[in-house]
Copies of this chain bind each other. A is one copy, B any other.
Amino acid sequence: MNLQKYMEMLKAHHIKITPQRLAIIALMDQYGHISVRDIFEKIKEKFPSLSLATVYKNINAMMENRFINELKIVGQDNKYELVKERHSHLICRKCGEIEDVFIDTKDLEMSLPSESGFLVEESSIQFFGLCKKCQS
């Protein structure tokens, strides 16, 4: 992806285009999942005037627009990712890496005991274990 693409994405969500926002989106796209702190530090290198408050405001705004998702993982800072096709996460307990994995959750949702009467709209799955690198 490139700047042009990010600009179109923002337009499609009726979010005003600013250099700060483009930088935030570019990082999310590049890293897949990234924390507020890391966004701030990485952008600051090239863009020293950036304020933390701006990062928070933009993240909150983009979450309200369903343009990005929040990811809460035990033992890690909250991460943010661009919204895309539904997926689950593989989380390495050793190095902390997060990988996306695309699996069908229909069967899983159907397998819920029906007596509770709970109506499932969406499921979120995190797999914890060891990534390929950390197994050696």
Q: Is the CB of B123 within 8 A of A123?
A: no
The answer to the question of A38 belonging to the interface, with a C-beta cut-off of 8 Å to chain B, is no
Copies per complex?
2
The answer to the question of A1 belonging to the interface, with a C-beta cut-off of 8 Å to chain B, is no
- Please encode chain A, from 69 to 105, with 1 for each CB lying within 8 Å of some chain B CB and 0 for all others: 0101110000000000000001011000001010110
Chain B residue nearest to A128 (CB atoms) is: B122
* Closest chain B CB from A110 CB (angstroms): 11
Among candidates B101, B113, B121, residue contacting A116 with C-beta atoms closer than 8 Å: B101
The answer to the question of A111 belonging to the interface, with a C-beta cut-off of 8 Å to chain B, is yes
Chain B residue nearest to A108 (CB atoms) is: B108
Q: Given the interface contacts A99-B116, A118-B90, does A108 sit within 8 Å of B129 by beta carbon?
A: no
Q: Given the interface contacts A72-B73, A73-B72, A74-B72, does A123 sit within 8 Å of B125 by beta carbon?
A: yes
Q: Which residues of A contact B (CB under 8 A)?
A: 70, 72-74, 90, 92-93, 99, 101, 103-104, 107-109, 111-113, 116-132, 135
Can you list 15 A-B pairs, Cβ within 8 angstroms, ordered by A?
A72-B74, A74-B124, A92-B118, A99-B118, A101-B116, A101-B118, A104-B111, A107-B107, A108-B125, A117-B132, A118-B129, A121-B129, A123-B127, A124-B126, A124-B128
